[in-house]
Amino acid sequence: MHTIELAAIFHHKIAHIHPFFDGNGRTARLVMNVILMRKGYPLVVILKNDRKKYYRALEKADKGDYAPFVRFIAQAVERSMAIYLNALLPIKGKGDKFYPLSIISKQTPYSEKYLNLLARKGKIEAHKEKRNWVTSLEAVKRYQAARQRKRK
């Protein structure tokens, strides 16, 4: 089972059995975060704005449909990762300007889909702005140069 799926299901099970008089949700989120952090994922915070969506997904999990809750937790993990990476990355060169992959792909030999793969794998300096990956032309050039060095 994937770590995010395990963490989400474990979270639901603790919240569902309601073992404590108070603090069941906090305990479930804490245990979920411990599972995630042990596998290298960042702390996940359920935003106040997402509370209704969170409860709806938990209700579906109560009825045996775990997919919406696992997806919700996976999206929260992705959002947390983007927040952390934005704080740490990109390793900007002087003058790097970041644009959506659709724009950068027109200036490089790579498709938008391939650039997306490179960004997700951490092979180019890129980060998410809202739902879209952005990178710089310079970052793609650095990737190309590093790739050519490895081939020699």
Q: Which amino acid is at 42?
A: P
Distance in angstroms (rounded) separating the CA atoms of residues 92 and 98: 9
Residue 127 catalytic?
no
Distance in angstroms (rounded) separating the CA atoms of residues 124 and 148: 14
Q: Which amino acid is at 88?
A: L
- Burial label for 134, CB within 10 Å (0-12, 13-18, 19+), is buried
Of 11, 12, 16, 18, catalytic: 18
Closest CA to 131 of 93, 87, 101: 101
Backbone phi, psi, residue 111, to 5°: -75, 165
Residues assigned a catalytic role: 18
